[in-house]
Amino acid sequence: METNTLHTLLDVVSHFVERNQVAEITPLGNGLINDTFKVMVHGDEKPRYVLQRINNAVFTDVEMLQRNIELVTGHLRSKGILTLHFLTADTGKTYIKEDDKYWRVMDYIPDSYTYEAVTPEYARCAGRKFGEFEAQLTDLKEPIGEIIPDFHNIEFRLRQLDEAIAANPVGRMNDLEVQLYVEKIKAVADEMCIGERLYREGKLPKRICHCDTKVNNMLFDKDGNVMCIIDLDTIMPSFVFSDFGDFLRSAANTGAEDDPDLDNVHFNMSIFEAFAQGYLEGAKSFLLPVEIEHLPYAAMLFPYMQTVRFFADYINGDTYYKIRYPEHNMVRTRAQWKLFEEAKAKSGEMAEIVNRFAF
Ligand code: GN1
Ligand code: MG
């Protein structure tokens, strides 16, 4: 928090709320991109607002970012669905720019909880909610901008990896283990690009998706019901595989995303089964057979894509993801690869489960 002193944070917040209302501002959550804080107001026991510094190296078009979010939240709200609400600043916009930094403030949703791991029961509920979320956005008339172009395009991510390998800016390609991972990743690259091929052939549509359905991007109430889907920055047109795959990448992993002990990392089929059941219920009104058939592929694709992304960042010298120690991105790479291999081994079983619930 070095650059975000309390004084700066107070200055920023005062563009959105009365400065002398604010009692305390402290860090919140563990996202890898934006910096997030909770804001306490005098006389309240629970936080009132969430303050966020938008990472504009990642989200370069903040105007489009907030426009997308306002369109989506407005649409959901008009259907009576609980969603994030952003405060309008004294500039008339839902964000401010100060010293080349971008900030926004949203209402804190009280009595809500986030988890890094869930039970099958919670996963079923999350699946239904993400399926419904996509269904609720199918009739959004205004176009949503592609806030990070090619965000979940695995062909693009593989090209970025190739560029990192060729540039080798910090010499990490000299390591034997790194070279081995390059080989392993390339050996399955072709089969992992089937989604993009189907899209080019006109067989697979894009939908408005959340594109960051990590388990910690949902708020649950104390009984395990999903209250609200959060972290709406990456909402954009994508294959439904994004939302299905990224939830399982985080929730079906019995270990941590960056688990240094690979014996902890397994793909939990009970979570897959429960999530698939919930998701198919929530999304059945619009899903095409080609989307349903490829859900097991989605469960493999996301650990694979995350391996490629963490690995490219490692080779690039850690310029994208926040890291806590020098080898962090390599540790993440190993853990995501292990998860990918397990998911791949279980894809037949996944297909049987999907068929059971879908047809
Ligand atoms: C980032 O911001 P956060 O931590 O929710 C990333 C996701 C990755 C994830 C890996 C904009 O999400 O795509 O899957 O880290 N978001 C962006 O944990 O790159
Ligand atoms: Mg997040």
Residue 234 in contact with ligand 1 by CB distance below 6 A: yes
What ligand has the least distance to the C-alpha of 218? 2
In ligand 1, the atom with minimum distance to the C-alpha of 302 is 14
Contact 24, 46 (CB under 8 A): no
Candidates 3.90.550.10, 3.30.465.10, 3.90.1200.10, 3.40.50.2300; CATH matching 120-358: 3.90.1200.10
Nearest to 315 by CA among 157, 88, 94, 163: 163
Expressed in angstroms and rounded, the spacing between residue 216 Cα and the centre of ligand 2 is: 6
Q: Phi/psi of residue 302, each to 5°?
A: -75, -40
Q: Which of 146, 212, 248, 313 to mutate to test the pocket of ligand 1 (most atoms within 8 A of CB)?
A: 212
Q: Which residue in this structure is represented by tokens 């026991």?
A: 45
Predicted model pTM: 0.92
pLDDT at 3: 55
The reported pLDDT for the residue numbered 1 is 44
**DSSP calls for 167-226:** H-TTSGGGSHHHHHHHHHHHHTHHHHTHHHHHHHTT-S--EEE-S---GGGEEE-TTS-E
pLDDT in tens, the chain (359 residues): 445 687 889 999 999 999 999 999 999 987 888 999 999 999 999 999 999 999 999 999 999 999 999 999 999 999 999 999 999 999 999 999 999 999 999 999 999 998 888 899 999 999 999 999 999 999 999 999 999 999 999 999 999 999 999 999 999 999 999 999 999 999 999 999 999 999 999 999 999 999 999 888 999 998 888 999 999 999 999 999 999 999 999 999 999 999 999 999 999 999 999 999 999 999 999 999 999 999 999 999 999 999 999 999 999 999 999 999 999 999 999 999 999 999 999 999 999 999 999 96
**Is 258 a pocket residue for ligand 1 (Cβ < 6 Å)?**
no
Question: How many angstroms separate the CA atoms of 61 and 65, rounded?
Answer: 6
Q: Which residues contact 136 (CB under 8 A, 6 or more apart)?
A: 75, 76, 79, 81
Q: Which ligand is nearest to the CA of 55?
A: 1
What's the pLDDT score for residue 337?
A: 98
Task: Tell me if 117 CB under 6 Å of ligand 1.
Answer: no
CB 275 within 8 A of CB 251: yes
Going by CA atoms, what residue is nearest to atom 9 of ligand 1? 32
- Fold of the CATH domain 3-107: Phosphorylase Kinase; domain 1 (3.30.200)
Using CA atoms, how far apart are residues 56 and 139, in angstroms rounded to an integer? 29
Q: Which atom of ligand 1 is nearest to the CA of 55?
A: 11
Tokens 């979940």 belong to which residue?
Answer: 152
Domains of the chain, by residue range, sit at 3-107, 120-358
Which residues fall within 8 angstroms of residue 328, CB to CB, at 6 or more apart?
Answer: 258, 318, 321
